[in-house]
Chain A
Amino acid sequence: DTGVSQDPRHKITKRGQNVTFRCDPISEHNRLYWYRQTLGQGPEFLTYFQNEAQLEKSRLLSDRFSAERPKGSFSTLEIQRTEQGDSAMYLCASSAGAGGNQPQHFGDGTRLSIL
């Protein structure tokens, strides 16, 4: 169990640029989640996958955001035409199933700063 891995740890970009983050879940976990956390707040759910299928999207996930998990393993989160308000920590989590008996394990996150 090597844990959930996220890359990069930090990303600084100019407003209007596109960015892509990667998440590698724990290898036997079939569920993968994306969250966003801003300063002084708890993480907010964005979307999740079961294997390669994207099953739910939060209303926080605007049209500029897209997530994929093409082979049911790693996932990418892309933000197009970044805005100042996109500055946040983006967290990935994975779990072996649904519900409370299969808790989510989190990566260390990717911190996005928009100049």
Chain B
Amino acid sequence: GNSVTQMEGPVTLSEEAFLTINCTYTATGYPSLFWYVQYPGEGLQLLLKATKADDKGSNKGFEATYRKETTSFHLEKGSVQVSDSAVYFCALSDLNGGGADGLTFGKGTHLIIQP
């Protein structure tokens, strides 16, 4: 079956530090990959996506590259801000693998940025 594994948190960084949140996946087919973010007290928001190998998704200074050879989709940001404090979820959609259209999520990584 499909699964997503992401690094456990909380991850605590100082403002302006470099961020990496690791995400690896297992899928039957050729999935699309997503990062969603959940700010305190808010719902899940799509942060970025990639639909094929070597695609780079980017948004709000965050980037992630779809690496088929390592089955990874690591999230990076060059200089984090306090406002980036949130829970980040890696997810996949494996429609082409014959699976349901529902997303498979990782457990989430709680990111805390200190001023």
Contacts and interface: CB of A to CB of B under 8 A. Distances in A.
A35 B20 CA distance: 27
A18 interface: no
Contact of B51 (A42, A44, A99): A99
Interface in A6-30: none
Interface residues of B, number: 28
A46 B104 CA distance: 11
Interface string A29-67: 001010100001111111110000001101000000000
Given A99-B32, A105-B46, A107-B43, A41 B107 contact: yes
Nearest to A33: B102
Contacts, number: 74
A86 to B, nearest CB: 19
B102 A42 contact: no
Interface in B29-77: 31-34, 36, 42-46, 49-51
Given A103-B49, A105-B46, A42 B91 contact: yes
A35 B100 CA distance: 13
Given A42-B107, A103-B34, A56 B101 contact: yes
